[in-house]
Amino acid sequence: MKRIITAVVLYALIALLTGFAYPYGVALCAGLFSPRKANGSLMERGGAVVGSELIAQDFKGAAYFWPRPSATGYSAMPSGGSNLSPAGGAFRIQTDLNAGAFMAAHPGVAKGDIPAEMLCASASGLDPHISVEAAVIQSARVAAARGYDARRNEKLVSLVNSMSEPPDWKIFGEPRINVLKLNMALDGIQ
């Protein structure tokens, strides 16, 4: 009986520690030391929340930069990758479909010139970043959809380059651009 009581008490203590004290302690510390990040890094325009800088959104219009494809339709609840094997036929079919859609929207761009992240979904399906190259290759479409002349198109490419974020700690990853931030800046200069 003594062992049963000891086991129940230990179970209750561990459940309280790992199920209540630790998560709420972490949330409290995050809220105190980094409240913006703890609340989802929300982006606002005119006092209204337009999204989170941590989660990709589906920008379909020609006048906006597009994020990389999502296997979950950019939904945060069932986030995840396609789990398609690069050696499988389904993966090739999906990347060919993505390439076809990209080339249809970007005349003159060859399949081999399309950045890889514009063909394949990310592991979470919610990656908010694209490479600088992926943004630059889309700039002609965005400029044409917004009726920009050559001078404003140059300003658009300059905006893309100015929105580039460095690799984490300057060594991990590649320079990248947050698509939501870029599109918000783009709307701001309209």
Cβ–Cβ < 8 Å for 27, 40? no
Cβ–Cβ < 8 Å for 90, 84? yes
Per-domain boundaries in the chain: 1-39, 42-188
For residue 35, how far is the Cα from the chain centroid? 21
pLDDT tens digit string along 71-123?
887 777 777 777 777 888 888 888 899 999 999 999 889 999 999 889 988 87
Q: Is the pTM of this model over 0.85?
A: no
Q: Phi then psi for 176, rounded to 5 degrees? A: -145, 170
pLDDT tens digit string along 143-177?
889 888 877 778 888 888 899 999 888 889 889 99
Cβ–Cβ < 8 Å for 129, 57? no
Cβ–Cβ < 8 Å for 65, 179? yes
